[in-house]
Amino acid sequence: MLNGKTALVTGSTSGIGLGIAQALARQGANIVLNGFGDVDGPRAQVLASGEHAGVRVAYHGADMSRPAEIADMLQYSSAQFGRVDILVNNAGIQHVASVQDFPPEKWDAIIAINLTSAFHTTRLALPGMLAAGWGRIINVASVHGLVGSAQKSAYVAAKHGIVGLTKVTALETAPTGVTCNAICPGWVLTPLVQKQVDAKAAEHGLSNEEAIKLLLGEKEPSMQFTTPEELGELAVFFCSPAGNNVRGVAWNMDGAWAAQ
């Protein structure tokens, strides 16, 4: 379905971003990966997902808190594959503390990486998409773009901001072939969330399994994690002809978290 298209997925060397990159590669999209840590492993996984379609995979290590590096990544992506047809804004970090104890430098970093980076990628990718008459911008928000949780002021503020940016981008592109939507996962067992599981296990003297049940039980009625594969398939839907008039939604895949 996506043969000849190029997808740039930020924060895609693990977790949700990697799952989305693999799903898009299975549909034939060339992929530009971005993120920290091991690159060879994720690149091999994405290549394997798109092997049947001859997918190519590139990588750019832009620090998503630095606008100049983001601009370089967009230029690199266009140089590699012609243009960015699908932009997935997924990069994110987390810090947990009460508002009065929240380190200002942590606030600034979370807002920069979780929110401001998506503004920069979007403004740089849009002209090419509009000129081509087709594009997909998929912002990975969170159920925390719809509801709040204590101790997560910066993350919740950033994710609410992503939902707002999604709506405005969708309105501005509404008469065009470019769409913009947000995905709002609940708990997904990524390395970021595993750290919170570990913290609960240590705090309460629990096993990993018991800590997971405690974590899910607090928020997610389904008592199961959403998977990166499920989120990847939702991203594919947004890119499909069936998604042509899906615009400006904040689509929660959260096990009924926000339904409470």
pLDDT in tens, 73-107: 999 999 999 999 999 999 999 999 999 999 999 99
pLDDT for the residue numbered 189: 87
pLDDT for the residue numbered 60: 98
Pick the catalytic residue from 59, 81, 155, 225.
155
pLDDT for the residue numbered 20: 98
Taking residues 126-135, what's their average pLDDT? 98
Listed residue (229, 167, 250) closest to 25, CA to CA: 229
Tokens representing 123 are 């403004």
pLDDT band at 55 (very low <50, low <70, confident <90, very high): very high
Q: Is the dihedral of CA 91, 4, 231, 45 positive or negative?
A: negative
- Give the whole-angstrom CA distance, residue 56 versus residue 77: 12
Q: Is 246 exposed, middle or buried (0-12, 13-18, 19+ CB in 10 A)?
A: middle
Taking residues 109-120, what's their average pLDDT? 98
- Give the whole-angstrom CA distance, residue 78 versus residue 245: 26
- Give the whole-angstrom CA distance, residue 230 versus residue 16: 9
Q: Please report where in the chains the tokens 């977790």 appear, as a residue.
A: 15
Contact 25, 58 (CB under 8 A): no
Q: Please report where in the chains the tokens 């049940």 appear, as a residue.
A: 213
Taking residues 117-143, what's their average pLDDT? 98
Which residues have a Cβ under 8 Å from the Cβ of 153 and sit 6 or more positions away? 99, 102, 107
Taking residues 4-28, what's their average pLDDT? 97
Which residues have a Cβ under 8 Å from the Cβ of 163 and sit 6 or more positions away? 139, 141, 145, 146, 182, 184, 250
Q: Is 155 a catalytic residue?
A: yes
Angle at 177 between CA 173 and CA 178, to 5 degrees: 50
What does the H/E/C string look like for the chain?
CCCCCEEEECCCCCHHHHHHHHHHHHCCCEEEECCCCCCHHHHHHHHHHCHHHCCCEEECCCCCCCHHHHHHHHHHHHHHHCCCCEEEECCCCCCCECHHHCCHHHHHHHHHHHHHHHHHHHHHHHHHHHHHCCEEEEEECCHHHCCCCCCEHHHHHHHHHHHHHHHHHHHHCCCCCEEEEEEEECCECCHHHHHHHHHHHHHHCCCHHHHHHHHHHHHCCCCCCECHHHHHHHHHHHHCHHHCCCCCCEEEECCCHHHC
pTM: predicted TM-score of the whole model, two decimal places? 0.95
Sheet with 86-89, edge to edge strand ranges: 57-59, 30-33, 6-9, 86-89, 135-140, 178-185, 250-253
Average pLDDT, the chain: 96
The yes-or-no verdict on residue 192 having pLDDT over 80 is: no
